[in-house]
Chain A
Amino acid sequence: MHMTETARRMWKKLTWTWSPGSEKEAGDAVVKNMLLHWFPNKVSISSMSWSYSMWLGTVSFVLFLILCGTGLVLMFLYVPSVERAYSSVKDIEFVVSFGWLLRSMHRISAHLMVASVFLHMVRVFLTGAYKNGTAAGANRPLNWIVGLTLLVLTLLLSFTGYLLPWDQLAYWAITVGTNIARSAPVVGEWMRFVLLGGTTIDQGTLIRFYVLHVFFLPVIVLFLFAYHMWRVRKDGGLAVVDKEDLNRTAVPADPVKSKTYSLLGITNGTSVHVQTKVVEDESTTVTSSPHLLRRILLVSLLTFAVVVLLSVVFPAPLEAPANPSVTPNPAKAPWYFLWLQEIVTVTTVTIGSFTINGALIGGILLPGALLALAVWWPYRDKSGPGSVGVWLSPERKRQNMVFIVICVVILLFTVVGTFLRGPYWNLYWPWESWPDMPVKF
């Protein structure tokens, strides 16, 4: 009892400069507390709904934190050299206490993060949440683009991590991936040279991918994530709040100057105004602490539990050491790139005597076009304010259909590539056994 009291006091001393004596002071306290300052003072109940956002953004960030935590420990154990990388991963797997769990959690979290960031994007699209609502100075389309960038960075992070174990799986996935870069016109060969640090996948490549994976890309993600969250706040919160706002205008009510902040106590008077109709409404809002905090902690706990469970059930594989002279049959890219591998298989086009490598169409032009389409989409979406923050709004029916079809095609290709492709990229049913293939001829 005494100990916990001491700990409580220590904690208070570390995180508070002052503690509240009244409700009003408690509200002010939110601004003054380092942790609570992350959240708005109050939050609308609807934006905490499970069914609206499914908390996929939070899940993604929790996964990112797990990846940082497990990754940090793995950095102490892994040696990024061609001679020792494989054996250090093997040691992590079989010698280091709980090494297998760390590696498995890192891998599962990475896979789940690709999935959750993708699903987060699907959710934002289908709820029309990239559209501006009533908040002044909102720029949700920009935040959608930031989100797309984060999706690409997530894929790159996963891809760079793929090479590090230096096993057959790693080596050939990176071979296929970097040869796609080579098929870009004019600069392709040069791009691959810079990416690999030479003409073959070797020490230069390993250290490049390592530094990108453990420092460069995560730092960019952190900065962009901070901006992403800041924009959510400045754009008026989740889009569902705008929807609520719209419904409310049926009952005429003037916007109130709900709050006046002085600029962090530096300026005199009331320089920053927050005008909103929702914040003060007791029936639609709750205080962020503890309600929002509690839910975030719950989502974090659930995410963590799922990661640990899956890590135990699906241990991370480690194939034979990388061998440049033997291509495994079939050789597959990471699952989230298998839809692209399916496409590069079928997109080599011959016009007369002129042949275009499928890698250029399927590996660069098509994904580039899809990304450009996604960036451009919010700016051409002219649906009304009634379709902001609503699942499958009837007004956006056609564009939702197009989006869903694209997603389903991508998922279908992914499933075919993952489960139905066997030796020489032939189709096999999952219950069919693959013919025996000689490792060499």
Chain B
Amino acid sequence: MKLFNLTKTTEAGEKNDEGRRGFLQKLGLGALLTSLAGVAYQSFRSLIPNVLYEPDQRFKLGLPANLPEGITFLDDRRLYVFKEGKSFYAISGACTHLGCTVKYAKLAQPRTVEVNGTQATIGFEFHCPCHGSKFTSDGTNYAGPAPRPLHWYRLELSPDDGQLIADLGQEVDQGFRLTV
């Protein structure tokens, strides 16, 4: 009887032992996988930049008076800036399809298009060299794969020195004009 009990105790102990062993195994494996996942996340996260050393979205263009009448293209910002007498506006040069720089194309013969319900005669257009999208002079897409009109960006006057400021972070409607 005593012997039987002893055996039983041992069996139970073994069972406990196995349970313990299994638990520790799972714990170990879990810890390993968790730490691996942690390292994987860490490695990947380190590749997402926290600071961008890119040019500021807001920048000065100089005094309004110094800007030539008509259209000016700012190379490094890919921005078309327009001066019509006292009013100013800016249209992005990045095609809304796949981001190529659209080119100013002077039309041999001015044509009449409907813009926002009114007829307007335009002397130039924007053409994209990559996939042939075409935009009227106000940036409205009318041919090719571009899904949206070219972006318009806010222009404002700097309060300190009166220079024009373009803000590529702020989109505005096509009717936008800055009057100086």
Q: Which residues of A contact B (CB under 8 A)?
A: 172, 175-176, 179-180, 182, 193-194, 197-200, 202, 204, 208, 324-331, 341, 344-348, 350, 355-359, 423-426, 438, 440-441
Does B130 sit within 8 A of A, measured CB to CB? yes
Residues in A neighbouring B130, C-beta threshold 8 A:
172, 176, 327, 330-331, 341, 425
Residues of A within 8 A of B49 (CB): 197-198, 204
B163: chain A residues at CB < 8 Å are none
Q: Is the CB of B128 within 8 A of A424?
A: yes
- Nearest-CB residue, chain A, relative to B75: A325
Question: Is B132 close to A, CB under 8 A?
Answer: yes
| Segment among B21-29, B31-39, B100-108, B150-158 that sits at the interface with chain A | B100-108
Knowing A330-B130, A346-B145, A348-B145 touch, does A358 contact B97 (C-beta < 8 A)?
A: yes
Give the most central of A325, A327, A330, A344: most B CB within 10 Å: A327
Assess whether A175 is in contact with B78, with CB atoms less than 8 Å apart: no
Closest to A439 in B: B103
Within 8 A of A (CB), among B122-136: 127-132
A326 touching B98 by the CB < 8 A rule?
no
Q: Are B128 and A344 in contact (CB under 8 A)?
A: no
Seed contacts A202-B54, A358-B147, A441-B73; 9 additional CB < 8 Å A-B pairs: A172-B130, A176-B98, A208-B47, A325-B78, A326-B101, A345-B132, A424-B128, A424-B129, A441-B71
Once the chains bind, are B98 and A179 in contact (CB under 8 Å)? Answer: yes
Q: How far is the CB of B132 from chain A (nearest CB, A)?
A: 3
Tell me the complex Cα distance, A179–B98, Å.
5
Q: Is the CB of B47 within 8 A of A175?
A: no
Within 8 A of A (CB), among B79-115: 96-101, 103-106
Q: Are A344 and B101 in contact (CB under 8 A)?
A: no
22 cross-chain CB contacts under 8 A: A179-B97, A179-B98, A180-B98, A198-B49, A199-B52, A327-B128, A328-B129, A331-B100, A345-B132, A345-B144, A346-B145, A348-B144, A357-B97, A357-B147, A359-B97, A424-B132, A425-B129, A425-B132, A440-B103, A441-B103, A441-B104, A441-B105
Residues of B contacting A199 with CB < 8 Å?
52, 54
Query: Which 4 residue pairs spanning A and B have beta carbons closest together?
Result: A441-B104, A425-B132, A329-B129, A325-B75
A15 to B75, CA, bound (A): 62
Q: Across the interface, do A344 and B131 meet the contact criterion of CB distance under 8 Å?
A: yes
Q: Which residue of B lies closest to A438 (CB)?
A: B103
Residues of A with C-beta under 8 A to B99 = 175-176, 179, 182
- Supposing A175-B98, A356-B147 touch, asked if A198 and B54 sit within 8 A by C-beta, the answer is yes
Specify the chain B residue showing the minimal Cβ separation from A348.
Answer: B145
**CB-defined contacts of A330 to chain B, threshold 8 Å:** 129-130
B129 touches A345 (CB 8 A): no
Chain A residue with minimal CB distance to B71? Answer: A441
B98–A359 touching, CB < 8 Å: yes
Q: What residues of A have a CB within 8 angstroms of the CB of B76 in the complex?
A: 324-325
Q: Contact check, A355 vs B100: say whether CB atoms are below 8 A apart.
A: no
Quick one: closest A residue to B105, CB to CB?
Answer: A441
Size of the chain B interface, CB-CB below 8 angstroms: 31
Q: Which residues of A contact B164 (CB under 8 A)?
A: none
Judged by a CB distance under 8 angstroms, whether B48 is at the interface is yes
Q: Least Cβ distance of A305 to chain B in Å?
A: 38
B47→A197 contact, CB < 8 A: yes
Flag if A425 contacts B131 (CB, 8 Å).
yes
- In the bound complex, how far is the Cα of B27 from the Cα of A280, in angstroms? 52
Considering the complex, give the chain A residue whose CB is closest to the CB of B76. A325
Q: Which residues of A contact B103 (CB under 8 A)?
A: 327, 329, 438, 440-441
Q: Is B146 an interface residue (CB 8 A)?
A: yes
What are the residues of chain B within 8 A of A200 when measuring CB–CB?
54
> How far in angstroms is the closest Cβ of chain A from B70?
11
Q: Is A327 a contact of B100 with CB atoms below 8 Å?
A: yes
Q: Is B148 an interface residue (CB 8 A)?
A: yes
Distance between Cα atoms of A440 and B78 in the complex (Å): 12
* Contact flag A172-B145 (CB < 8 Å), given A198-B52, A199-B52, A331-B130: no
Which residue from chain A places its CB closest to the CB of B130 in the assembled complex? Answer: A331
Which listed residue (A194, A329, A345, A426) contacts B145, Cβ 8 A?
Answer: A345
Chain A residues with Cβ below 8 Å from B128 are 327, 424-425
Q: Which residue of B has the minimal Cβ distance to A359?
A: B98
CB-based nearest B residue for A192: B99
Q: Hey, which chain A residues are within 8 Å of B105, CB to CB?
A: 441
Which residues from chain A contact B98 at a C-beta distance below 8 Å? 175-176, 179-180, 344, 359
The smallest beta-carbon distance between B101 and chain A, in angstroms, is 4
B32-63 at interface with A (beta carbon < 8 Å):
47-49, 52, 54
- Chain B residue nearest to A200 (CB atoms) is B54
Measured CB to CB, the nearest residue on chain A to B103 is: A441
In the assembled complex, which residues on chain B have CB atoms less than 8 Å from the CB atom of A345? 131-132, 144-145
Q: Out of A176, A194, A355, name the residue touching B48 (CB < 8 Å).
A: A194
Q: Name the A residues within 8 Å of B47 (CB-CB).
A: 194, 197, 208
Closest B residue to A356 by CB, please name it.
B147
**Nearest A residue to B102 by beta-carbon distance?**
A327
Measured CB to CB, the closest approach of chain B to A83, in angstroms, equals: 14
The CA-CA distance from A175 to B102 in the complex, in Å, is 13
CA distance A201 to B157 in the complex (A): 30
Return A394 CB to nearest CB of chain B, in Å. Answer: 42
Given A204-B49, A358-B147, A172 contacting B131 (CB threshold 8 A):
no
In angstroms, Cα B1 to Cα A85, docked, is 87
Smallest beta-carbon distance B93→chain A, Å: 8
Task: Tell me, rounded to whole Å, the shortest Cβ–Cβ distance linking B74 to chain A.
Answer: 8
Q: Given known contacts A348-B147, A356-B147, A441-B73, is B100 in contact with A424 (CB within 8 Å)?
A: no
- The CA-CA distance from A357 to B97 in the complex, in Å, is 7
Among A197, A208, A345, find the residue whose CB has the most chain B CB atoms closer than 10 A.
Answer: A345
| Contact among B48, B104, B145 with A347 in the assembled complex (CB-CB below 8 Å) | B145
